Amino acid sequence: MPTQHGARGRARREEIVRAAIEVIAERGYRGASLAAVAEKVGLTQQGLLHYFPSKEDLLIGVLRFREQTDSGGRDTVAEPMTMADTEAVVEANANRIAIVRTFSALLGESVTEDHPAAEYFRDRYRLVRERLAATLRLEWGDRLPSGLTPEEAAPLVIAIMDGLQYQWLHEPETFDMPAAFRSFLRLLDPKAAS
């Protein structure tokens, strides 16, 4: 078992994961070769395999890395306690195009058969929907201003965030993702200042 002790090894692993995120953003998971990731951190492919014994292990590393550190990643929606926070997340994502691209590409791939990230996204969706519904209920009670229940609104918030990212990624300089998201928030609560 590599990388167990030693801050040295842990740092190297993180370096590798960051490189993997970049490569996946450029080529997707299937298109990302271990060799390309290895080269980015100055390793051979086999050197990389010392830290992550298989490509799938590396992907798991990427997914885990996001869950831990990534306090600005797309779905940190899992955490925020107010709707204003979700807006901040979108804003932050607009400045993290590489990470957004990585996870948008992964999300797309994950709908194909036996994709190693499929389970991750399914569980993630469930979790985020739950927490988001709780957040909405905390903010507005059992009925939003629009008349929707929190359970009805939560999937819509997620869908908007995901969907806007694709439009934005295809026209990063033209498409104003945060503004579009704010429009949606106005839809949820017409009285909101924002």
> Which residues contact DNA by CB under 7 A?
1-6, 8-9, 12, 32-36, 38, 42-47, 49-51, 53-56
175 binds a copy of itself (CB under 8 A): yes
Q: With respect to DNA, which residue has the nearer C-beta, 32 or 164?
A: 32
Structure tokens at 96: 């993290």
C-alpha 85, offset from chain centre:
15
C-alpha span between 99 and 73 (Å, rounded): 7
C-alpha span between 50 and 66 (Å, rounded): 22
C-alpha span between 194 and 192 (Å, rounded): 6
In terms of Cβ atoms closer than 10 Å to its own Cβ (0-12, 13-18, 19+), residue 32 is buried
Query: What mask of x and - would describe binding to a copy of itself in positions 99 to 118, judged by CB under 8 A?
Result: --x--xxxxxxxxxx----x
Reduced to 3 states (helix: H, G, I; strand: E, B; else coil), residue 117 is: coil
DSSP code of 52?
A: S
The one of DNA, a copy of itself, none whose footprint includes residue 53, by CB under 5 to 8 A per kind, is: DNA
Nearest in space to 58 (alpha carbons), one of 82, 40, 72, 38? 38
The one of DNA, a copy of itself, none whose footprint includes residue 153, by CB under 5 to 8 A per kind, is: a copy of itself
Q: With respect to DNA, which residue has the nearer C-beta, 51 or 65?
A: 51
Q: With respect to DNA, which residue has the nearer C-beta, 37 or 133?
A: 37
Q: With respect to DNA, which residue has the nearer C-beta, 23 or 157?
A: 23
Contact residues for a copy of itself (CB under 8 A)? 25-28, 30-31, 101, 104-113, 118, 121-122, 125-126, 146-148, 152-153, 155-156, 158-164, 166-167, 169-171, 175, 180, 183-184, 186-188, 190
